[in-house]
């Protein structure tokens, strides 16, 4: 996860871009501590239904709250993190076992990839200059059977399609699906294709829907592609 402030660092390339939060609802840009300490219980809830893991690595871990939740809830036994933003990395050191306070590219050779059976990239891929290269590199370094957990915003959301179709507007904003720092946009199917093309086979998928759409009588399954804010996926490393 990328933190707000004057600039953020791409986790792979260390290139600077203006910063803001990836989720539709986010703290103010200047309130970086609030952003770093945002919980990701939605991602933890999803992962809880996919099995249990030994050691996890959270790439773009912010303050490490997701990793801490995974350990506290016994979804994984231990969690390390990589976080390029110094303020966030300092916070993460109090929540995770080990933190690389540098971009992924700088830490890559030092990471003991064969120790991890879960790699997490929550709202990270859309910020990367070359997410396909990153996924392929992680695949090559990871041990057989490693699981990869990712979340990305859904560009097919009605809040994006409505203004585009009826007003011809496609405007980037400070935070949300069309966050100005998002370099790549995904739908469910394009995310699945990206994972498969880089050696990862999707095993579990879930749409992140607002609570008001989860009513038994509401046709949320039919309309999921237009209502999902994000998609969560766990994929397995193919040999």
Per-residue model confidence as pLDDT tens for the chain (239 residues): 433 333 333 333 333 333 333 333 333 333 455 556 567 899 999 999 999 999 999 999 999 999 999 999 999 999 999 999 999 999 999 999 999 999 999 999 999 999 999 999 999 999 999 999 999 999 999 999 999 999 999 999 888 889 888 999 889 888 888 788 889 999 999 999 999 999 999 999 999 877 776 777 666 676 787 789 999 999 999 98
pLDDT of residue 30: 39
Q: Of 130, 122, 102, which Cα lies nearest the Cα of 9?
A: 102
State pTM to two decimals. 0.80
What is 8-237's CATH number, 3.65.10.10, 3.40.50.150, 1.20.1090.10, 3.30.360.10?
Answer: 3.40.50.150
Q: Of 79, 80, 69, 59, which Cα lies nearest the Cα of 2?
A: 59
Contact 27, 49 (CB under 8 A): no
pLDDT of residue 25: 35
pLDDT one-digit tens code per residue, 85-112: 999 999 999 999 999 999 999 999 999 9
Residue that has been written with the tokens 């080990």 in this structure:
98
The Cα 23–Cα 196 span in angstroms is 25
pLDDT of residue 8: 35
pLDDT of residue 234: 98
pLDDT of residue 46: 96
For residue 71, give both structure tokens. 């350990």
For residue 212, give both structure tokens. 């008001």
Give CA 10 to chain center in angstroms. 13
Contact 50, 77 (CB under 8 A): no
Domain ranges of the chain: 8-237
pLDDT one-digit tens code per residue, 197-232: 999 999 999 998 777 767 776 666 767 877 899 999
């Amino acid at each position: 996860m990328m933190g707000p402030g004057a600039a953020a660092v791409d986790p792979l390339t260390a290139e600077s871009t203006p910063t803001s939060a990836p989720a539709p609802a986010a703290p103010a840009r200047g309130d970086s501590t609030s952003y770093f300490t945002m919980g990701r219980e939605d991602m933890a809830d999803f992962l809880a239904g996919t099995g249990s893991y030994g050691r996890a690595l959270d790439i773009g871990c912010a303050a490490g709250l997701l990793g801490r939740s995974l350990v506290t809830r016994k979804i994984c036994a231990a969690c390390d993190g990589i976080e390029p933003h110094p303020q966030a990395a300092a916070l993460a050191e109090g929540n995770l076992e080990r933190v690389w306070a540098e971009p992924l590219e700088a830490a890559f050779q030092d990471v003991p990839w064969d120790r991890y059976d879960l790699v997490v990239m929550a709202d990270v891929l859309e910020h990367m200059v070359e997410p396909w290269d990153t996924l392929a590199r992680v695949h090559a370094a990871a041990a057989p059977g490693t699981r990869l957990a990712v979340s990305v915003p859904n560009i097919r959301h009605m809040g994006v399609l409505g203004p585009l179709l009826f007003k011809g507007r496609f405007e980037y904003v400070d935070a949300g699906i069309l966050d100005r720092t998002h370099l790549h946009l995904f739908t469910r199917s394009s995310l699945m294709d990206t994972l498969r093309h880089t050696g990862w086979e999707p095993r579990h998928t879930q749409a992140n829907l607002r609570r008001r759409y989860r009513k038994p009588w509401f046709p949320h399954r039919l309309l999921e592609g237009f209502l999902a804010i994000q998609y969560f996926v766990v994929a397995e490393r193919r040999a």
